[in-house]
Amino acid sequence: MTRDTDAPGTAEPDDDRRSDARAKSVLPDGGAASDDVALDPWGSSAISDYRKLFEQFGIEEFDEVLPEVPSPHYLMRRGVIFGHRDYRPVLEAMCEDEPFAALSGFMPTGDPHIGHKLVFDELIWHQERGGDAYGLIADLEAHSARGLSWDEIDEHARDYLLSLLALGFDPDEGELYRQSANRDVQDLAFELGAEANFSELQAIYGFDGETDVSHMQSVVTQMADILYPQIDEPKPTVIPVGPDQDPHVRFARDLAARTRYFGVTQAYASFEATPAERALLGRAYETLDGEVEDGTVRCVNAAEWLEEADVDDPVDALEGALEKLHAAGKEPLRPRTRFLDRNATDEAFEALIEAVEGEKRVYDAHIDSFELSREEAEELAREVELAHGGYGFRAPSSIYHRFMTGLTGGKMSSSIPASHISLLDDPETGYDKVNSATTAGRETAELQRELGGEADKCPVYELYAYLLAGDDDGFAKEVYDECVGGERLCGDCKEQAARLMREFLEEHQEKRAEAETLLEELDFELESER
């Protein structure tokens, strides 16, 4: 999902951060501005330095997983897809021919344009690699957050669907729906709403007393969209988005965890510890294991070691660990995997006790296993949850693509016609827009030949890299090298790009016409009853 099209988008508590899994505390990274980077799903997010997203929001670099991707899409190879959040489970499922899904939503506020095509391509690519693909029309969001009438929404929705089908989405192997017509999504949103509160929405999205309830409700509906592919079967799911949609991704990850019956984490003693405290306990255990006289590392031994060791951990973590260790006294300190009772019924908790084999300890709100690995424990917890009526959601993953630069400079926007190429534009209009586009060339042809162009800053080169070169990396590299080497002048470059854009629009609109019949045959409510 790109801006102006995205519905879903989310936060992630992990059990290492949340010992009381039933709590609904506000996440500190839930989408608020950090320095000069603000991620706003409905505003005008401008990213001048994508590296800050890695540092400030925990987005991981896509280059780290690229070698593991089978036949990667050219958007991945060229760095247009630059980041991800927990994409490896999707890759593992893809490579091992196991179930996985991809979902993206489109908010129909205007014509679909070439920036939106990035998301269409990403969704289709995952479908072609065996994923269950879901494309949704975020009509509730468009109506509540943007104030569009239902007639306007219906018109734009049809255009998005035709382009998605024309580009290769297979409706027989995927699912298309609109939020307002999907009762399962609305029911799930109601359940998820019980796990969210206004303080959280305020922190994540900046909502205040003037925010209407429908807008807030649309957020919870988007969370349901993101988790919808797992409603019948938990499976790795990827949400392709622009970075401005990351707050949605993090929030959905958080809600997925909160609905779980059980959380799974590591522990060293009967008491609960924060992640920072657990790190200290782990270091103490590893140091003392095999060194104490009776062979049993006890909490008091760990406390003594920590008091004498030269540790540079945060003071509050050290103080907290020492306080708990002293209180536990001679209790053995042993690594174990812990099942936390989050939302489990009494029957499910008892069933989990029975299912945990080997040495274990049972407490009022958790079970400690001394033989199961964390991975084994997570699978067992999910099996018991599903057997007792729970969802068993896996945390959704995401991949992030760069924003396309507008043809007039700045960000590409549906509200500025000259800044973008609509997928509905007449081919000659597309040709003219490209020929009128801003470039990053030098002031004169002589300087261009002498210094070379600045392809990395050029909206026209982006057209080649993101769209016009297609799967031909050699052609994209040739354009780049000729530009920065001074061989390619902007006039000729724009003329070639304009011709290619005209050809693309001609072909796309022919395929859109062919998709008309297919769309009419689908079980899709093209006209809202509202």
Residue ranges of the chain whose pLDDT lies below 70? 1-57, 415
For residue 499, what are its two tokens? 């011709």
**Dihedral angle at the C-alpha atoms of 439, 444, 445, 450, nearest 10 degrees?**
-100
Q: Where are the domains of the chain?
A: 51-259, 264-387, 417-521
Q: Report the candidate in 229, 106, 240 with the shortest Cα–Cα distance to residue 161.
A: 106
pLDDT at 51: 67
Q: Residues 420, 422, 428, CA angle at the centre, nearest 5°?
A: 95
Task: Domain 417-521: give its CATH superfamily.
Answer: Tyrosyl-Transfer RNA Synthetase (1.10.240.10)
Whether 381 contacts 373, CB under 8 Å: no
Please determine whether the domains at 51-259 and 417-521 fall in the same fold group of CATH: no
Rg (CA), the chain: 26
Cα(527)–Cα(109) distance, integer angstroms: 16
**Cβ within 8 Å of residue 184, ≥6 positions away:** 228, 231
pLDDT for position 43:
47
Q: Please answer whether residues 29 and 250 qualify as being in contact, where contact means their C-beta atoms are separated by less than 8 angstroms.
A: yes
User: What distance in Å separates the CA atoms of residue 346 and residue 336, rounded to the nearest whole number?
Assistant: 23
pLDDT of residue 53: 64
- What confidence score (pLDDT) does residue 433 get? 94
pTM of the predicted protein model: 0.85
Q: For residue 228, what is the DSSP state?
A: G
Q: Which CATH superfamily is domain 51-259 in?
A: HUPs (3.40.50.620)
Residue 113's contacts (CB-CB under 8 Å, 6 or more residues apart) are 412, 414, 420, 421, 422, 423
Residue in the structure block whose two tokens are 């950090």 = 34
pLDDT at residue 336, rounded to an integer: 97
Residue type, 40: D
